Amino acid sequence: PQPVYRFDYQAPAYRVTHTELTFDLAPTATRVKARLHLERHPDREGGLPLELQGERLELKAIALDGQALDSGDYVIDDKGLTIARVPERFVLETEVEIAPSENTALEGLYQSNGIYCTQCEAQGFRRITFYPDRPDVMATFSTTIIGDQQSEPVLLCNGNPVDKGSLEDGRHFATWEDPHPKPCYLFALVAGDLKKVEDHFTTMGGREVTLQLWVEEENLDKTEHAMASLKRAMAWDEQTYGREYDLDLFMIVAVNDFNMGAMENKGLNIFNSAAVLTHPKTATDIAYQRVEGIVAHEYFHNWSGNRVTCRDWFQLSLKEGFTVFRDQCFSADITSAPVKRIQDAAFFRTAQFAEDAGPTAHPIRPDHYIEITNFYTLTIYEKGAEVVRMLHNLVGWEAFRRGSDLYFERFDGQAVTIEDFVDCMAEASGEDLSQFMRWYSQAGTPEIDAHGEYDYTHSEYHLTLRQRTPATPGQPEKQALHIPVRMGLVGTKSGRDLTMTLDGESLGKDGVIHLCEDERTFVFTDVAEAPVPSLLRSFSAPVKLHFPYSREDLAFLLAHDSDGFNRWDAGQRLALLALDDLIAAHRNGVEKVMDTRVIEAFRTLLTTSTDDKAVLAEMLMLPSEAYIAEQQPLVDVDAIHAAREFVRQSLAVALRDEFLAVYENNRSQVAYAPEPEQIAERSLKNVALSYLMAIEDEQGLAYCREQYEADHNMTDVRHALTLLVHSSDEALGASALKRFGEKWAHDPLVMDQWFTIQVTRPQADVIERVKYLMQHPAFSLRNPNRVRALVGAFASHNRVNFHRLDGEGYQLLSDVVIELNRLNPEIAAGLVTPLTRWQRFDETRQALMRAQLERIKAEPLSPNVYEVVAKALA
Ligand code: B3K
Ligand code: ZN
């Protein structure tokens, strides 16, 4: 497969002004008629051939301006259709046949539980009809859907319903018109036996919008939270960005088989059922929050993505980075801002840092790709959001809002680039953002080596920051970035933030310094007492910051830092230092000794913390095995697991009574609501229970069983069940697990949790369990949620067993990848990821992982899997 290059961009030779579609639905023989109103693009010369993309389409008829074409007038190959000579303006009519029920890739038009639905981003529309399948071709659409009255009573499309009626043979039709010009990746169609819940929203401009959520009948009781989230998101976007919805109807449809979380199709969002359905008995707090975030994200795309879209797919982060930033701010506003930031940063520093350090590292705006589907990554989404966040912090909220208004106004209805966005921010703020643009072109995580010195005689604090970005594939040399470092100087005597003066100017007690050079020393004057610096507050830049903190410094910051995020981070750093020693001890076969400073720090947290419960819960959680691994030069999975377990158990032994008290004080059993205070209380209680179960404390075990049996809500039930099943004695959880599986056999989203709990069990017999569960009737390789819950969870969240020294874990994963490569290349390519990180492990594991990658590479591969595997072996 050949790569596509960003610098090869050219405007399309022809554009579509209006698209008329007719779908005559049938599982294996759907007919799609298209009437495309085309004209030459004003920026391109005349006489160019017309090139339309099309894959897996069987052409049945073709006519230009009403004249049927001869087979000699056009060429069809596996990429599409080319007509050598066309007029300046013309109408092209085609009719093709496609087979939705055979579409296992879930791109284009497919069936999920008998429901017809579409996924067109990025390049799925070419599997529906011949079309200029690129985001810079924007047209109005008018679509007629013909289906079976019985099996497809509901026929949905983008825009407004304008006509419907009965046809012969039990068929019926509906016609929809979308007045907003859009690229074809935002096209959507849904047909099937669905039921709706309806609500209303009045926009700030007075438009009455009907809101509909379409689900299978048995899920009607799981829609309340998504609907409430949608209304909150609509109100938030008006208040925060002045953005109003622009149609009379907004629809969300839940389908079971979906490659990602959801899709922002104009007026007709299609969602993975896991990202929309909730019920206290079936969904955890985390699932509720995820639904809220994704509903908001897709809604926000209506402006940042749909009204203003991407010129080409290299600009993907233009819409995704900005929209993730918007949804993060929304969630922070309605839940707890510090906790949201802690959770986002913890995830980012684990998963995005790993991606940026691996063989598939790429800039936020890549220069080339083989398969765009592989670029819906943490870098494009999350690092893209971090960069927008930095922009926001650099120019300040007011200028940022002026910049965003300018962007939406200037580019409404257009397909634009990342420069267009940043230029608006520069124009609105008057800032020079040229160096800042390097964030978009340079891959890899920048590292800052920092050190500081207090000069008692002159009352000065000298802080030196040096930046370097490691080489990444294709980018051996890196340039200095503009890195905003938010910080404070915490006085060691007073325990308070000192006022900072830099170059004669006051920075206040909490301020931002800018590192734009390779190295710079900042001299703070009038520093009355020796400080401990609190650096990179709130994770002000997506970098790794190294500072030679002593354990005493960290315990001090954990107690005194005024920034909640950095208090949490000080605790993480303190735990990491202790873990480092224990990892070394484990490797060297010497006795492990627990650092009492960590115990004392935790004791203080448990007994005197004034943090809110949600933040406290985060502070009591140890860094994950994956994050610990990120810090090690060479990953020793067994030593990491053993060290972390040792810390958990030592803390539990030393602080057993304190954990018990926390548990007992936080188990009010009020009616479940996904509200911040309740969620905080549940997570604090459940962290405490985890520690008690780490030593299988008798009272803890009794509480755990009680919590499971009480069956109050899924957050508590799932947590208790996980602890029972993951305990050293398998018998402890066996009966609960069995009953849970029987009770929920009818609910696929709960069965996903049942799979995940079992395959993340740390005990060594788990691989056999994974294989056994893959034969379970509730499992199917054709459903992405099942694959993620079972195989994905095993490979990513059961590190000791996935990396077993006999290579069984690697073999299992590659077996699945090879099979899935034929069914669903997008999911298969994502699943390979853990194997691509082989450089991080010892020689034995490296060889085993590489052998599996070679084995995959020897297969006939989809471009998706090929691209990932080839990069991993390069
Ligand atoms: N824009 C969609 C992405 C779907 C692409 C799948 N290949 C989801 C989102 O970011 O909102
Ligand atoms: Zn998105």
Residue ID of nearest Cα to ligand 1 atom 5: 121
CA 105 to ligand 1 centroid distance, Å: 15
Average pLDDT over residues 226-231: 98
Any idea which residues carry the catalytic annotation?
A: 298
Convert the pLDDT of each residue in 470-491 to its tens digit. Answer: 999 999 999 999 999 999 999 9
| Confidence at residue 608, expressed as pLDDT on a 0 to 100 scale | 87
Give the contacts of 692 (CB within 8 A, at least 6 positions apart).
652, 656, 659, 660, 663, 699, 700, 701, 703, 704
| Confidence at residue 476, expressed as pLDDT on a 0 to 100 scale | 98
Q: Shortest CA distance to 543 belongs to which of 496, 600, 484, 503?
A: 484
**What value of ipTM does the predicted structure carry?**
0.99
Convert the pLDDT of each residue in 719-748 to its tens digit. Answer: 999 999 999 998 999 999 999 999 999 999
- Report d(CA 661, CA 639) in Å as an integer: 31
Q: Shortest CA distance to 441 belongs to which of 482, 411, 408?
A: 482
Q: Are 315 and 417 in contact (CB under 8 A)?
A: yes
- Report d(CA 315, CA 328) in Å as an integer: 20
**3-state SS assignment for residue 598:** helix
Task: Considering only the C-alpha atoms of the chain, give the largest distance between any 2 of them, rounded to a whole number of Å.
Answer: 95
Letter for the amino acid at 518? D
- Is the pLDDT score of 397 beyond 90? yes
| Ligand with the closest atom to the CA of 258 | 1
Query: What secondary structure does DSSP assign to 197-255, as a single string?
Result: EEEEEE-TT--EEEEEEEE-GGGGGG-HHHHHHHHHHHHHHHHHH-----SSEEEEEEE
Average pLDDT over residues 323-335: 97
Report the percent of the chain where pLDDT is more than 70: 100
327 lines ligand 1 (CB under 6 A): no
Structure tokens belonging to residue 550: 């002593």
Convert the pLDDT of each residue in 788-841 to its tens digit. Answer: 999 999 999 999 999 999 999 999 999 999 999 999 999 999 999 999 999 999
| Confidence at residue 57, expressed as pLDDT on a 0 to 100 scale | 98
* Ramachandran bin of 262, using left for φ above 0, alpha for ψ from -120 to 50, beta for the remaining angles: beta
Report the percent of the chain where pLDDT is more than 90: 99
| Confidence at residue 669, expressed as pLDDT on a 0 to 100 scale | 85
**3-state SS assignment for residue 368:** strand
128 lines ligand 1 (CB under 6 A): no
Give the contacts of 739 (CB within 8 A, at least 6 positions apart).
none
Q: Are 130 and 54 in contact (CB under 8 A)?
A: yes
Average pLDDT over residues 116-124: 98
Convert the pLDDT of each residue in 233-262 to its tens digit. Answer: 999 999 999 999 999 999 999 999 999 999
Backbone angles phi, psi at 42, to 5 degrees: -60, -25
Give the contacts of 464 (CB within 8 A, at least 6 positions apart).
450, 451, 452, 519, 520, 521, 522
| Confidence at residue 441, expressed as pLDDT on a 0 to 100 scale | 98
120 lines ligand 1 (CB under 6 A): no
Convert the pLDDT of each residue in 137-155 to its tens digit. Answer: 999 999 999 999 999 999 9
- Report d(CA 802, CA 812) in Å as an integer: 9
pTM given for the model: 0.99
Tell whether the torsion through CA atoms of 340, 342, 348 and 351 is positive or negative.
negative
- Report d(CA 206, CA 204) in Å as an integer: 5
| Confidence at residue 294, expressed as pLDDT on a 0 to 100 scale | 98
- Report d(CA 627, CA 604) in Å as an integer: 24
Convert the pLDDT of each residue in 743-796 to its tens digit. Answer: 999 999 999 999 999 999 999 899 999 999 999 999 999 999 999 999 999 999
Q: Which ligand 1 atom is the nearest neighbour of the CA of 320?
A: 10
Average pLDDT over residues 498-506: 97
What one-character DSSP code corresponds to residue 106? -
CB-facing half-sphere around the CA of 75: CA atoms within 13 A? 9
**3-state SS assignment for residue 680:** helix
561 lines ligand 1 (CB under 6 A): no
Q: Are 3 and 369 in contact (CB under 8 A)?
A: yes
Q: Which ligand 1 atom is the nearest neighbour of the CA of 262?
A: 8
Q: Shortest CA distance to 761 belongs to which of 715, 719, 726?
A: 726
Query: What secondary structure does DSSP assign to 109-155, as a single string?
Result: EEEETTEEEEE-TTTTGGGTS-B--STT--EEEEEEEEEETTT--EE
CA 331 to ligand 1 centroid distance, Å: 19
In 503-595, DSSP assigns E strands to 505-508, 511-515, 519-525, 531-535, 544-546
Ligand 1 mutation target, pool 118, 119, 121, 258, most atoms within 8 A of CB = 121
- Is the pLDDT score of 611 beyond 80? no
Convert the pLDDT of each residue in 267-293 to its tens digit. Answer: 999 999 999 999 999 999 999 999 999
Residue ID of nearest Cα to ligand 1 atom 8: 263
CA 714 to ligand 2 centroid distance, Å: 28
Terminal alpha carbon distance of the chain: 15
Structure tokens belonging to residue 22: 């007719």
| Confidence at residue 157, expressed as pLDDT on a 0 to 100 scale | 99
Give the contacts of 391 (CB within 8 A, at least 6 positions apart).
400, 422, 425, 433, 436
- Report d(CA 102, CA 97) in Å as an integer: 13
Helix pair angle (748-759, 714-725), 10° resolution: 30
Report the C-alpha dihedral over residues 624, 630, 633, 636, rounded to 10 degrees: 40
Letter for the amino acid at 576? L
What one-character DSSP code corresponds to residue 542? S
Structure tokens belonging to residue 656: 């057993």
Strands 30-40 and 519-525: unpaired
| Confidence at residue 609, expressed as pLDDT on a 0 to 100 scale | 79
Tell whether the torsion through CA atoms of 582, 586, 587 and 589 is positive or negative.
positive
Ligand 1 mutation target, pool 118, 268, 376, most atoms within 8 A of CB = 376
Tell me the average pLDDT of the chain. Answer: 98
- Report d(CA 833, CA 329) in Å as an integer: 29
- Is the pLDDT score of 212 beyond 90? yes
121 lines ligand 1 (CB under 6 A): yes
Average pLDDT over residues 443-469: 98
Q: Which ligand 1 atom is the nearest neighbour of the CA of 381?
A: 10
- Report d(CA 702, CA 696) in Å as an integer: 10
Convert the pLDDT of each residue in 402-452 to its tens digit. Answer: 999 999 999 999 999 999 999 999 999 999 999 999 999 999 999 999 999
CA 264 to ligand 2 centroid distance, Å: 7
376 lines ligand 1 (CB under 6 A): yes
107 lines ligand 1 (CB under 6 A): no
259 lines ligand 1 (CB under 6 A): yes
Q: Are 548 and 592 in contact (CB under 8 A)?
A: no
Structure tokens belonging to residue 463: 């802080």
How wide is the angle at C-alpha 822 spanned by C-alphas 819 and 827, nearest 5°?
A: 80
| Confidence at residue 610, expressed as pLDDT on a 0 to 100 scale | 80
- Report d(CA 311, CA 415) in Å as an integer: 4
- Report d(CA 836, CA 866) in Å as an integer: 12
> Residue 588: how many CB atoms within 10 A of its CB?
9
Q: What are residue 24's DSSP bridge partners?
A: 31, 146
- Report d(CA 601, CA 446) in Å as an integer: 30
Give the contacts of 2 (CB within 8 A, at least 6 positions apart).
370
Q: How confident is the model at residue 603 (pLDDT cuts 50, 70, 90)?
A: very high
Average pLDDT over residues 173-201: 98
